[in-house]
Amino acid sequence: QVQLQESGPGLVKPSGTLSLTCAVSGASISDNNWWSWIRQPPGKGLEWIGEIYHSGSTNYNPSLKSRVTISVDKSKNQFSLNLNSVTAADTAVYYCARNQGSEAGNWFDPWGQGTLVTVSS
């Protein structure tokens, strides 16, 4: 089955750059799907960060657009998130997920297990 696994530093300094990678197994990142990053601050709800298609096309949440870059590496079957100028407000569990869609809508399935990133000096 399709599995996603996030990896990256668990601690980032304020004003630094948060960098995470999502490795995809059981499916090709070049399949007809978009791939997303979603985050969840401790004890709070979910926020969609952005998505990428294997062609490199991206869509971002306007609230984060100025600080976010999502990229894809087809040779490694993975995609990545960079978030710069981080503050404590960016502390969250970061999830990667596969977008699925049809005439019935668009949703996320499956999700990675998530990785906690703490912004602190």
Binding site residues, another protein, CB under 8 A: 36, 45-48, 51, 59-63, 95, 100-114
- By residue count, the chain amounts to 121
Which residue, 36 or 78, has its beta carbon nearer to another protein?
36
Which residue, 33 or 36, has its beta carbon nearer to another protein?
36
Least distance (Å) from another protein to the CB of residue 104?
Answer: 3
Neighbours of 35 (CB within 10 A): 24
Least distance (Å) from another protein to the CB of residue 60?
Answer: 8
Place of tokens 């630094």: 16
Least distance (Å) from another protein to the CB of residue 80?
Answer: 19
Least distance (Å) from another protein to the CB of residue 49?
Answer: 9
User: DSSP of 26-86, one letter per residue?
Assistant: SS-TTSS-EEEEEEE-TTS--EEEEEEETTS-EEE-TTTTTTEEEEEEGGGTEEEEEE-S-
Amino acid identity for residue 108 in this structure: F
